[in-house]
Amino acid sequence: MIDKIRSQTRRADIVLKRQALCYYLFEYKDYLPQDIAKHINRDRTTVIHSVKTFKERLKHEIECIKELNELKKENFDLDALLIQKFINKNKTRLSSKLIKYLKDYE
């Protein structure tokens, strides 16, 4: 999912997921716009715009409510996802003790 969100595509379904993720991380997980931006390959002002746009769309579009509920249900955590990607990428260079510590953090 995160790879599609980080892509430069403007497909409506991906844009909706991107906006929902920005809104969810900002409103529910207390991420700063610059932190979200860094992980989704966007500028912080784009994240701010996405949050505002999604907030307005929530009032009128059922698809937005569904996307947000899906993220809530998953309890999506960007940190855990990034830690897992880091572990997978660097498995051969990390000690087993550090890998256990990182997995426990998730």
pLDDT digits (tens, 9 = 90+) for 13-47: 999 999 999 999 999 998 999 999 988 999 999 99
SS3 90: coil
Are the beta carbons of 81 and 30 closer than 8 angstroms?
A: no
Half-sphere exposure of 100 (CA within 13 A, CB side): 3
The alpha carbon of residue 63 and the mean position of all alpha carbons in its chain are separated, in whole angstroms, by 18
Residue 8: band (very low, low, confident or very high) from pLDDT cuts 50, 70, 90? very high
**pLDDT at 94 > cutoff 70:** no
pTM: 0.76
43 in Cβ contact with 37 (< 8 Å)? yes
pLDDT of residue 47: 97
* pLDDT for position 102: 66
44 with 33: CB under 8 angstroms?
yes
Question: Which structure tokens are listed for 53?
Answer: 């746009």
Rounded (5°) CA angle 82-87-89: 95
pLDDT above 60: residue 11: yes
